Amino acid sequence: ILIQLQAQNSEVANYDEANVPAYSLPDLLKTTTNQEVRTKTAWEKIRRPEIIKLFEENVYGQMPKTVDRLTYSIKSGDTQAMAGKATLKEVVIEVVQHNRSVKINLVLFVPTKINKPAPVFLLINNRSKDNTDPTRTHKSDFWPAEMVIDSGYAIAAFHVSDLAPDDTVKYVDGVLQLYPEQLTANDGMRAIGAWAWGASRVLDYLEKDPVIDAKRVAIVGHSRGGKASLWAAAEDQRFALCFSNCSGNTGAALSRRRFGETVSRINTVFPHWFAKNYKKFNHNEDSLPVDQHMLLAAIAPRGLYVTNASKDLWADPTGTYLALKNAQRVYALYGMEAHLPDHPPAINQPILNSPLGYHIREGEHNLTAYDWSNFIKFANAHLKK
Ligand code: GTR
C-alpha cells in the first residue's frame, strides 16, 4: 500500500523504451481544417502560422508585439581583446514600454581579421555569468569565445536574468513588468518566452551594428536556454540558424513519449517557464494540439542543429531524434532533403551534411567544446556559402 501511495504522489520518470505509450503525432502537413499541405506556399501561408499560433496559445505564450523605444549604448569596448584577435563591445540594449524599462547587457566579440560584416553566434546564457566573462579572466567551454573567434565568427551572449530571472517568484522582475497583460492572460508568456523575446531584441541591435552580418545570426541555447533558442528561431525568422543543445522536454524532444522529463513534471517544478494554458496538458499529452516536431519544422528552411548527451536520458535523446526526423517533411517542401537515417547516429558521430544536423555526445548534460566544434562545422556548411 505504501509503495502504491508513493507512486501516486511522486511521479517516477520512465527510462524504459518498452514503457513508452503508443501515441500518434499531430500531422505536420494537415491544417486544422484537414486540408493537405503540399507546397511551401501553403506551408508558409497557412500551416506555419497555424502552428506558431498553437504554440503561443498552448505552450510558450504570446510575444509582446510592440516596443515604445529601443536604445543602444556601448558601455565599454576594447579593440585589442584576445591579444588583438578580437574587438570587444559591451552593449546595453534598453527596452522601454509604458515608461518602464529593462536593460539587456550584451557581450560581443568580433574577429579583427575579417574585413566584412561577420556572422555571429548568439548564446542565451542560462548558467553562470562567468561563462561569458568579457575580460576573459574566466574562460569556459560553455562559451568558448576564443575558439569561435579563431573560426572567423563573432560571438555574443546575454544572460536570461536580464529578461526574466529563472525563479518561480522573481521571474516577474524583468520584461514582464513592461507587459503586465502577459501575466494575467492564460496565454501570456513566462520566463522562456521572455528569454526568446529578448534574443529578438538583441537581433534588433545586431541589425544596426555594421560590423555584424545580421543575415547570418545563429541563435544558441543549452537545455532551458535551448528551449528558448528553438522558440526564438520559430517566432523570429530573421535568425539564420538555430542550435538547441540538450533541450529535452518542451525543447526538441517529443512530449507524447513521456520518456524522462514529462509535461506535468516540468510544469510543476518550473511553473514560471510556460503559459498557464500549458498546465492543462499535465498527464494529458495526447490532447496537445502540437508536439515538438512541429516547433522544429517551424524553423524550416533554415539550418537547425540539435544535440543530446549519452548520459542525459532525462532529455530523451531518442524522442529528440524522432522529432527532428519528423520535421524533415517540411524541409522537403523546400526541396531540401535531410536524409536522416531511421535510427540516431552512434555517439560522437555528428550529422553535419543536412539542413537538420544532430549529434549525441558522450557524457553528461552540458554544453561543451565538442558541441561548439560541431556547431562551427555546421555553420561553415550553412552560413559561409
Ligand atoms: C532540468 C529541467 C530540464 C532542463 C535542465 C537545464 O532541471 O528539468 O528541462 O531545462 O534543467 O536547464 O539544465
pLDDT one-digit tens code per residue, 16-35 = 999 999 999 999 999 999 99
* C-alpha of residue 270 to centroid of ligand 1, in Å: 9
Spatial separation of the C-alpha atoms in residues 149 and 162, rounded to whole Å: 25
Consecutive H or E run containing 319: helix 317-333
Cell triple for 322: 524522432
The ipTM, to two decimals, is: 0.98
* C-alpha of residue 292 to centroid of ligand 1, in Å: 16
- Please list every protein residue whose CB sits less than 6 Å from any atom of ligand 1: 223-224, 248-249, 261, 266
Spatial separation of the C-alpha atoms in residues 20 and 16, rounded to whole Å: 7
Which ligand 1 atom is at minimum distance from the Cα of 265?
8
Question: Is 3's pLDDT higher than 60?
Answer: no
Active-site annotation, residues: 223, 365
Weakest-pLDDT range from 6-15, 91-100, 103-112: 6-15
Which ligand 1 atom is at minimum distance from the Cα of 266?
8
Residues belonging to the chain: 385
The best mutation among 195, 268, 314 to test binding of ligand 1, ranked by most ligand atoms within 8 Å of the C-beta, falls on: 314
Cell triple for 382: 550553412
Spatial separation of the C-alpha atoms in residues 21 and 298, rounded to whole Å: 26
Dihedral angle sign, alpha carbons of residues 30, 263, 361, 202:
positive
Which ligand 1 atom is at minimum distance from the Cα of 269?
8
* C-alpha of residue 96 to centroid of ligand 1, in Å: 31
Dihedral angle sign, alpha carbons of residues 199, 359, 119, 110:
positive
* C-alpha of residue 385 to centroid of ligand 1, in Å: 35
pLDDT one-digit tens code per residue, 147-203 = 999 999 999 999 999 999 999 999 999 999 999 999 999 999 999 999 999 999 999
* C-alpha of residue 224 to centroid of ligand 1, in Å: 6
Q: Determine which residue's CA is closest to atom 6 belonging to ligand 1.
A: 223
The best mutation among 11, 223, 316, 365 to test binding of ligand 1, ranked by most ligand atoms within 8 Å of the C-beta, falls on: 223
Which ligand 1 atom is at minimum distance from the Cα of 126?
12
pLDDT one-digit tens code per residue, 285-316 = 999 999 999 999 999 999 999 999 999 999 99
Cell triple for 229: 533558442
